[in-house]
Amino acid sequence: MTKKLLMGNEAIAHAALEAGVRVVAGYPGTPSSEIVEMVAKERAAGRAEGVHVEWSTNEKAALELLGGASYAGARCLYTCKQMGLNVASDPLMCLNYVGVKGGLVLIVADDPGPISSQTEQDTRRFGSFSKVPVLDPSTPDQAFAMVKAAFELSERYRTPVIVRPTTRVDHASAFFDIADRTRARDLIDGGFVRDPSHWVIFPRRAYEAHGEINERLPQIARDYASDTVFAAFNPLYGPGLAPLSAPDAVAAQLGIVAGGISAAYTLEALRLVEARAAACGAKVPAYRFWQVGTPYPFPEDEAARFAQGLERVIVFEELDSVLEDALTLAAGRRHLAYDVLGKESGDTRDRGENDVDDIAARLVRFFGLEEALAADDGVAPVALPQDAQLPARPPVLCPGCPHRGSFYAIKRALGKTPAVLCGDIGCYTLGNAQPLDAVDTCLCMGAGITQAQGFSVVEPGRKVIAYVGDSTFFASGMTGIANAAYNGHDITVVVLDNATTAMTGAQPHPGTGVTLMGPKNEPISIEAVLAACNFKKIVHADPLDLDAAIAAAHEAIFYEGPSAVLFESPCIQLVRPQAPVEIDHELCTGCKRCITEIGCPGIGFDPAAPGPKSGKRGTAFVDASLCNGCGLCVDVCPFSVIVPAAEAAGAKSDAAKEGGAHA
């Protein structure tokens, strides 16, 4: 064993390897991406024997692949972000009915805030919707333990199991004792055993399977209380945060319940409030605190025992009111006379992330300590925090990002032609920001191409553009491409091909041919896919060659019928930057076109730097620490005063020679 500092996601990967996982598959999505990458790293280093790991083309493909491997008796790990489970929901629902053989654990990382998602959906709800058990870690340590336990649970009941960390658990770090080497478990029963009555789902079998699911869920809820491994995920505390062996160990009227990262915040908040109360000479009323790490199936018997004698219970959780609803239901079903406070009652945040200060302030109110703790005794009060006034930092495309040239070329090609610009999921959603203002819609993965077809049907007078990234093209774009060609929709698909999955950390995809298992396979050509789908007009351009990019865009946009422009230029994360461009201060007119047209953060404007041509307007300047020399602004400046570094150096050298000759 070796002690290592690991991020939550890395710890999850190690836990799965130590549990003998044999097949790992997923699709990149923040905050989950590091799990697959860590498995690949361990395998490449020779420390994880017998494991297959891959980025699949999308989440559905990954889960279906794992379903097959699990039927053959392999332990399998699936990863995605919360939105990804929507894509994989079809196989998930059915897998639960068919059942699995090798343990199948899904890590679905939720994104409260949201920090990098379109929704704040709660995977615990997906658990109850699909009737799949859910474990909800509050720390990286707990995530590590839950992953191992989830494999056991999955095989015990032949059910997929979801482990649902959130961003702060995924990305927080802690020390772990990690096995130096791991080995994938052998296949259960030696492999797939044919049994059509089991593995082939027909309506009659689905009816029976539904009954089996309904029978096993209460048993799993009982396991959550009686199995010491699972019971440890639902710890109880009393005043002073002393661990309680049973709820009735403390006579209390107040109860606190929390799940996920909110449980860790609540422990910290309780410490703060108790310390503050002690400093003020105030007494915190007796309470019980229960962390629910096994939210589905909800351990209702345990909840009833916890709530015995309580009058009020406050619930801290992020995203949906899952625990709050379950406790309210339990109160009604068991005729227990406690009030439940939480999101629904307006007593806790109804969206976004929780934090320690906010929970502490709400606990002060819940305990009735506001007056006592507000006393001016020199000890900082625990106050309900106001939203912090931080400077706004709107997201923006990186300096030198080739997508900037693509968006600008499309807008220049369209001119004043009426158009709808459909975006998609990726860095390029940022094309909607000013001054580019080149994205009108963004729904979900792959939707840009299909939504564009809806616009073209009802508004034939407008040109309709659909942007799609190279990774998204393979993940969710191809069915929309086939639909456009099949139904003859007059749209222009603009493929923003930067040769990577940039937004989630530069993962490979089928268009790169690079795999996590070592060998590079032949890249799948996007152009060949488009051609195979009967796209008759396909043009290419380098988006940083502005004239060529505008010409290509024009040719595709004004073609009648489905057309495509392939803008090909690698993400700046993949290439060595060139020397920054320079602006000739003497010749700059201060017109600001370089800023107002493309909005690259590499260019600034100094109104206090007048030049001979700009007068009092001031002049533009290049921030050499940001500029990567992409050259797009060189083509944008109408006065040709922005020059590549080499050219600027040449001009200076010529001037020096000329000066020398005159001397």
Minimum distance, C-beta of residue 631 to ligand SF4, in the bound complex (Å) = 5
- Please say which residue, 23 or 643, places its beta carbon nearer to ligand SF4: 643
Quick check: 449 and 468 in contact, CB under 8 A? yes
Rounded distance, CA 292 to CA 281, Å?
32
Q: Is 611 in the site for ligand SF4 (CB under 6 A)?
A: no
Residue 20 region by backbone torsions, left for phi larger than 0, else alpha for psi between -120 and 50, else beta = left
642 binding ligand SF4? (CB under 6 A): yes
**Interface with ligand SF4: number of residues (CB under 6 A):** 28
Is position 533 an interface residue for ligand SF4 (rule: CB under 6 A)? no
Closer Cβ to ligand SF4, 38 or 581, answer by number: 581
Residue 627 as a binder of ligand SF4 (CB under 6 A): the answer is: yes
Name the minimum Å distance from CB 580 to ligand SF4: 6
Instruction: Give me the least distance between CB of 592 and ligand SF4, in Å please.
Output: 5
Asked if 632 touches ligand SF4 (CB under 6 A), the answer is: yes
Shortest Cβ 621–ligand SF4 spacing (Å): 9
Our CB check for ligand SF4 shows the closer of 257 and 588 to be 588
Please say which residue, 121 or 589, places its beta carbon nearer to ligand SF4: 589
- Rounded Cα gap, residues 564 and 535, in angstroms: 7
User: Taking the complex as a whole, how short is the minimal distance between the CB of residue 494 and ligand SF4, in angstroms?
Assistant: 20
Given the complex with ligand SF4, which of 303 and 583 has the nearer CB atom? 583
Among 277, 430, 630, 643, indicate the residue that binds ligand SF4 (CB under 6 A).
Answer: 630
What is the identity of the amino acid at 633? Answer: C
| Stretch 111-140: interaction string toward ligand SF4, x if CB under 6 A | ------------------------------
Token look-up 């100094």 returns: 606
Q: Is 546 in the site for ligand SF4 (CB under 6 A)?
A: no
| Among the residue ranges 88-96, 137-145, 283-291, 638-646, the one whose residues contact ligand SF4 (CB under 6 A) | 638-646
d(Cα 523, Cα 536) in Å, to the nearest integer? 22
Question: Are the CB atoms for 566 and 526 separated by under 8 Å?
Answer: yes
Cβ within 8 Å of residue 131, ≥6 positions away? 96, 213, 214, 217
Residue 610 Cβ vs ligand SF4, minimum distance, rounded to whole Å: 12
**d(Cα 512, Cα 338) in Å, to the nearest integer?**
58
CB 408, min distance to ligand SF4, A: 10
Our CB check for ligand SF4 shows the closer of 95 and 583 to be 583
Residue 162, helix vs strand vs coil: strand
When binding is defined by CB under 6 A, the residue of 641, 646, 656, 657 that contacts ligand SF4 is 641
Among 464, 546, 622, 643, which residue interacts with ligand SF4 (rule: CB under 6 A)? 622
162 CB-near residues (< 8 Å, 6+ apart): 105, 106, 107, 108, 123, 126, 127, 132, 133, 134, 135
Please, which residue, 40 or 630, has the CB nearer to ligand SF4?
Answer: 630
Closest approach, Cβ 35 to ligand SF4, in A, equals: 33
Nearer to ligand SF4, 232 or 624 (CB): 624
> What is the side-by-side order of every strand in the sheet holding 104-109?
52-55, 23-26, 76-81, 104-109, 161-163, 134-135
Rounded to a whole number of angstroms, the minimum distance from the CB of residue 409 to ligand SF4 is: 13
- Shortest gap between Cβ of 643 and ligand SF4 (angstroms)? 10
Phi, psi dihedral angles at 395 (to 5 degrees): -65, 145
Segment contacting ligand SF4 (CB under 6 A): 162-170, 190-198, 373-381, 629-637?
629-637
Give the shortest CB-254-to-ligand SF4 separation in angstroms. Answer: 58
Residue number, 352 or 610, with CB nearest to ligand SF4: 610
Min CB(637)–ligand SF4 separation in Å: 3
Sign of the dihedral defined by the CA atoms of residues 529, 530, 532, 533, in that order: positive
Nearer to ligand SF4, 321 or 628 (CB): 628
Partners of 582 in the beta sheet?
643
Residue 402 binds ligand SF4, judged by CB under 6 A? no
Q: Is 430 in the site for ligand SF4 (CB under 6 A)?
A: no
Nearer to ligand SF4, 258 or 633 (CB): 633
Distance CA 117, CA 81 (A): 9
Does 633 contact ligand SF4 by CB under 6 A?
yes
Of 248, 255, 292, nearest in space to 270 by CA: 255
**Using the rule CB under 6 A, which residue among 140, 160, 469, 629 binds ligand SF4?**
629
Q: Which of residues 264-293 bind ligand SF4 (CB under 6 A)?
A: none
Among residues 255, 297, 299, 399, which is the contact residue for ligand SF4, using CB under 6 A?
399
- CB burial of 221-237 (b: ≥16 within 10 Å; e: otherwise) equals bebbbebeebbebbbbb
**Least spacing, CB of residue 382 vs ligand SF4, in Å:** 47
In the complex with ligand SF4, which residue's Cβ is closer, 349 or 403? 403
Residue (227 or 635) nearer to ligand SF4, CB? 635
Give the x/- contact pattern for ligand SF4 in 569-608, rule: CB under 6 A.
-----------xx-x----xxxxxxx-----x-xx-----
- Name residue 549's amino acid: A
Residue 645 Cα distances to 500, 544, 547, 651, angstroms: 28, 16, 21, 10
Q: How far is the CB of 292 from ligand SF4 (least distance, A)?
A: 50
Q: Compute the distance between CA of residue 377 and CA of residue 395 in angstroms, rounded to an integer.
A: 43
DSSP characters over 318-373: SSS-HHHHHHHHHHHHHT---EEESTTTTSS-SSS---HHHHHHHHHHHTT-HHHH
Q: Which residues contact 325 (CB under 8 A, 6 or more apart)?
A: 344
Q: Does 400 bind ligand SF4 (CB under 6 A)?
A: yes
The answer to whether 628 contacts ligand SF4 (rule: CB under 6 A) is yes
* Structure tokens that stand for 305 in this block: 């025992």
Axis crossing angle, helix 123-130 with helix 322-334, rounded to the nearest 10:
50
Q: Which of 253, 286, 639, 650 binds ligand SF4 (CB under 6 A)?
A: 639
Q: Residue 41 corresponds to which tokens in the numbers above?
A: 């790293």
Residue whose CB is less far from ligand SF4, 487 or 573: 573
Residue 40 or 581: the one with the smaller Cβ distance to ligand SF4 is 581
**Beta carbon nearer to ligand SF4, 61 or 410:** 410
Annotate 240-272 with DSSP letters as a single string: GGEE-SSGGGS--SEEEEE-THHHHHHHHHHHH
Give the long-range contacts of residues 391-398, CB within 8 A, separation 24 or more. 394/433, 395/430, 395/433, 396/430, 396/433, 396/599, 396/601, 397/427, 397/428, 397/430, 397/431, 397/433, 397/436, 398/427, 398/572, 398/601
Q: Is 384 in contact with 269 (CB distance < 8 Å)?
A: no
Positions that interact with ligand SF4 (CB under 6 A)? 399-400, 580-581, 583, 588-594, 600, 602-603, 620, 622, 627-633, 637, 639, 641-642
